[in-house]
Structure 1
Amino acid sequence: MSWEQQGYWQGQGYDQQYGYSGYPEYTQQPYVDHAQGVPEAPYPEAPYPEAPYPDAAYPLPVVEPEPEPPVTAPPTDAEAEEEKPPPRPPGRDRYFDTLRAVALIRVVAYHTFGWAWAGMVFPSMGIMFGLAGTLMAKSLERPAAKVIRSRLRRLLPPFWFWGVFVVLAMLVHDWMPGWQIVYWIVPLGDPPGNAWGEQAWEILWYLRTYLWFVLLSPVLLRVFRLSPVPVLLLSLAPIVVLQFLWEPPDDRLGSALTDLATFLFCWILGFAHRDGVLERLRPAAVVLLSLAALGFGGWYAFTHQGETGSYDLDDIPLAQAFWSAGYVLLLMWAKSYFGIDFAWLTRFRRTDRVVTIFNSRAVTIYLWHEIALILAVPLIDRFWNVPAFEKWLPLESQWFMFGIGWILIAVFVLLCGWVEDVAGKKKPRLLP
């Protein structure tokens, strides 16, 4: 909401500060034409007699001096604050913020329960790449070099802070790094590690893919704007090529190419939303294309379970690409076509507060959630030594571990979230 500007005597006449039209006793005073020396209406029925000599002027009607309007003291700062509506962060879209928060919750749930169907119910990674593409297109209205530096500054310090703990823990557990340790400085490739810490660092593929998309976005956006719809549709071609025509190498390069190809459509879809391309598409065409992509992605996942032992989209890149494409296309098109903004969310202050924290601490939650789940296991093991806990708490339930994991995530947000504030050149706070 914008600040409403207030003034004194607004709408009271020609002078907003000392106007007279607000006083009814002065509204019928005649207007005097000084050039002719006679007043105009409201006295037309009483004309003046002929002047005795040409230059004579009759006296003007006597008008009582007007009282000065009461001077109102300007409101104090405290009063002004009470009159003004509460400020809202500029440029925030609660629909996108809510999608990002739900995506993070789904990621934590998937890493807790291992549900293969979770990616089909809500493809978190595709949604997060789509939202990031929209924000990147908006940011590129400024010089590209400045935008890239800003993105790196926001991403790398939280990553470095988290990486210090992970690297030190792996070194204590007999890890011997090589030159590839440079990927712990700039994750253009998968950072190395040992098996002991694999559960913590295996999630870094998302940061690596995001970083490459940020670096490539100035070129991708320029190509997209040459022919938006064809480029959007052709962005699914790379994953088809990698699946059927050329098998990428089984190394860092191959992993990076596969992940880029898998989520390229979602990233460029963010461009399409930002540039208003989705608003101009026919609803029937969008729904048809979305259902076709969802149908192919689902069919491919269920018919190729023999290769991975599951229909989990995370293990089947082609299915992931098409399922995410159809799903995210519907979400973003609905946002553009129906004007969904979730503005009503601000009426529920606690829920709105939670969504704000999730978005302001998204990197912290993503990086630390696996460590929180790892620490939840030995912590729950300690509970077994307390007879009351053993009797009354569901220590064997994964839902209990899920709850303990979120408690630990909250602790990490309080202890480590300030790094995101520092990276964003903001005042460090426990909670945003």
Structure 2
Amino acid sequence: MSWGQEQPQGYGHGYGEQPGHGYEEYAGYVGREGYTGYVGYDQQSYPQQPHPPVWAPEAEAETEAAVGPAEEKPPPPAKPAGRDRYFDTLRAVALIRVVTYHTFGWAWAGLVFPSMGIMFGLAGTLMAKSLERPALTVVRSRLRRLLPPFWFWGVFVVLAMLVHDWMPGWQIVYWVVPLGDPPGNAWGEQAWEILWYLRTYLWFVLLSPLLLKVFRLAPVPVLFLSLAPVLVLNFVWSGPDDRLGSALWDLSTYLFCWILGFAHRDGVLRRLRPAAVVLLSLAALGYGGWYAFSHRAEFGTYDLDEIPLAQAFWSAGFVMLLMWAKSRFRIDFAGLTSMPRLDRIVTVFNARAVTIYLWHQIALILAVPLIDQFWEVPAFERYLPLESQWFMFGVGWVLIAGFVLLCGWVEDVAARKKPRLLP
């Protein structure tokens, strides 16, 4: 996979052609973005720390002398940790934006809401929280939550490609553990190209124990130096033109966002001066936007997904502002609980993030022949906007909902929970 036919070798994953406006043209289009994350695969929370109890030894002594030692009572059961609805909402919006991008192919979508940078930032802060436990336990937990849904989805994709004359080699091992891009044929390309996100997330999970230790040695310098790898790949050495090169590009592009998650969790962002954060964020956004538009002729588009350097800096500035605002103003979207239906939707999106991410492209692919059948019904042809991509968008979400009901239980099994149709 490559960033596009017009780009230099070694640029990671992208899609060279822009989508058309008809259903037959959509079938040949493959967007680069995924769910991310996702995906935050583990649903962590950030409860406020309770205030320490006030203890008056003199008063306790007087009471004990008067009435005898107090009867020991068992401590009250701990209250369940509350969800951080701010992060949950960001993750849900990121998934919606991903599906929207893959339906319409709007180049400006990444500028409005850089979903993948946000997803990696959220996953980074959750990983830093989880690493308060032993690192090996955390890594095993992340793998257990990620791999079973991937295997379940992969069985259908691999079997479909085998039916369509695909014969894998030894590289099929990447369908077991996606440390590299899993192989496939052109027939299933639109389904499996989104796996770049899972591969990148997996590498970040494996590297996080070391990354977190390095970050805590010098938090601010390490945070800003995390943009150096993408600059090196862009201006000095483009890396090998193989699976390793693709992984290096994607890791470098989103390394800052992942480390930024560490900075949020450790309170580093909260301690920075507001003026410095805002100026640095605007500078990163300015550079990323300038690079995207000034190199539009070179890449054939200003779509951030096709331009890794622009993606890295735009995502860095955007996610830094979101994370800093969370720390500075203690945004929690707690009021979302007063809107039960919307709160329910956010809950389902977060609990089924992997399922939505993996199956959304297949849902959009299946929407095309399904809509073709609608043309055979005179009433549908007359009253439904069958030619509209918005109609395809709606049909796609109906199919995604079906996949959530049929396949989402795998996420429950992976998390060692009781399988449910909906959370």
Question: 1:361 aligns to what?
Answer: 352
Question: Does the residue aligned with 2:413 lie in a helix, a strand or coil?
Answer: helix
User: Which residue pairs with 2:24 in the alignment?
Assistant: none
1:339 to 330, 334, 353: 330
CA distance in 2, matches of 1:412, 1:373: 12
The aligned residue for residue 39 of structure 2 is: none
Task: State the Cα distance separating 1:308 from its structure 2 match.
Answer: 1.8
Q: CA, structure 1 residues 185+386, in 2 after alignment: closer, same or farther (shift >3 Å)?
A: same
Matched with 1:248 is: 239
Number of aligned pairs?
A: 349
Find out whether 1:308 has 2:299 as its counterpart: yes
Q: In the alignment, which residue of structure 1 is the partner of 2:107?
A: 116
Q: Report the equivalent of 1:205.
A: 196
**Alignment equivalent of 2:284, drawn from 269, 277, 293:** 293
Higher RCO (CA-CA < 8 Å; seq separation 6+): 2
- Report deviation, 1:100: 0.1
Residue number among 348, 364, 369 corresponding to 2:339 in the alignment:
348
Q: Distance in 1 between matches of 2:318 and 2:79?
A: 30
Paired with 2:314 and 2:136, the residues of 1 have a C-alpha distance of 33
User: What amino acid maps onto 2:266 in structure 1?
Assistant: D
1:270 maps to 2:261: yes
**CA apart distance, 1:393:** 0.2
Specify the code of the residue in structure 2 equivalent to 1:228.
P
**Equivalent residue in structure 2 for 1:138, among 125, 129, 134:** 129
| 1:161 lines up with 2:156 in the alignment | no
Could you say what secondary structure the match of 1:187 adopts?
A: coil
Distance in 2 (CA, whole Å) between partners of 1:140 and 1:349 is 32
Residue 184 of structure 1 deviates from its aligned partner by 0.1
* Superposition pairs of residues 53-92 of structure 1, within 5 angstroms: 90-92=81-83
Identity %: 84
Shift of 1:352: 0.2
Secondary structure of the 2:320 match is: helix
| 2:379 counterpart of 1:388 | yes
Give the partner amino acid of 2:169: G
The within-5 A match list for 1:211-230 is: 211-230=202-221
TM-score of the superposition, structure 2-length normalised?
Answer: 0.81
Q: Alpha-carbon deviation of 1:89?
A: 5.8
Equivalent residue letter for 1:287: V
In structure 1, C-alpha distance between the alignment counterparts of 2:234 and 2:332, rounded to whole Å: 37
Aligned twin of 1:406 = 397
Per the alignment, residue 378 of structure 1 pairs with 369
| More displaced 10-residue stretch of structure 1: 323-332 or 307-316 | 307-316
Report the AA paired with residue 96 of structure 1: F
- Normalised by the length of structure 1, the TM-score is 0.80
Instruction: Name 1:105's counterpart in structure 2.
Output: 96
| Alpha-carbon distance in 2 for matches of 1:173, 1:314 | 29
What is the SS of the residue equivalent to 1:109?
A: helix
Partners of 2:297 and 2:354 in 1: CA distance: 35
Which one has a bigger Cα radius of gyration?
Answer: 1
- TM-fit CA distance, 1:306: 1.6
Which secondary structure does the structure 2 equivalent of 1:395 belong to?
A: coil
5+ residue gaps, structure 2, are: 1-45, 48-77
Match of 1:280 in 2: 271
For each residue in 1:65-109, what CA deviation from the matched residue of structure 2 results, as whole angstroms up to 9, or x when unmatched? xxxxxxxxxxxxxxxxxxxxxx99624200000000000000000
- Equivalent residue number for residue 397 of structure 1: 388
In structure 2, give the amino acid aligned to 1:93.
Answer: D
Cα distance change on mapping 1:429 and 1:89 into 2, 3 Å: farther
Which stretches in structure 1 are left out of the alignment for 5+ residues? 3-86
Partner of 1:11: none
SS in 1 for 2:107: coil
Q: Deviations over 1:306-349 (max 9, x none)?
A: 22210000000000000000000000000000000000000000
2-structure distance, mates of 1:323, 1:194: 33
Work out the CA distance in 1 between the residues paired with 2:401 and 2:81.
26
1:267-303, Cα deviation, whole Å (9 max, x unpaired): 0000000000011010000000000000000000001
* Structure 1 residue 132 displacement after superposition: 0.1
The amino acid of 1:412's aligned partner reads: F
Provide the residue aligned with 2:87 in structure 1: 96
Secondary structure at the residue paired with 1:142? coil
Read off the aligned partner of 1:129 and give its amino acid letter. F
The equivalent of 2:169 in structure 1 is: 178
Write the distance in 1 (CA, Å) between the matches of 2:94 and 2:366. Answer: 22
CA distance in 1, matches of 2:136, 2:285: 37
Which AA in structure 2 matches 1:389?
F
Aligned partners of 1:314, 1:430: CA distance in 2, in Å?
34
Is 2:149 the counterpart of 1:187? no
SS in structure 2 at match of 1:310: coil
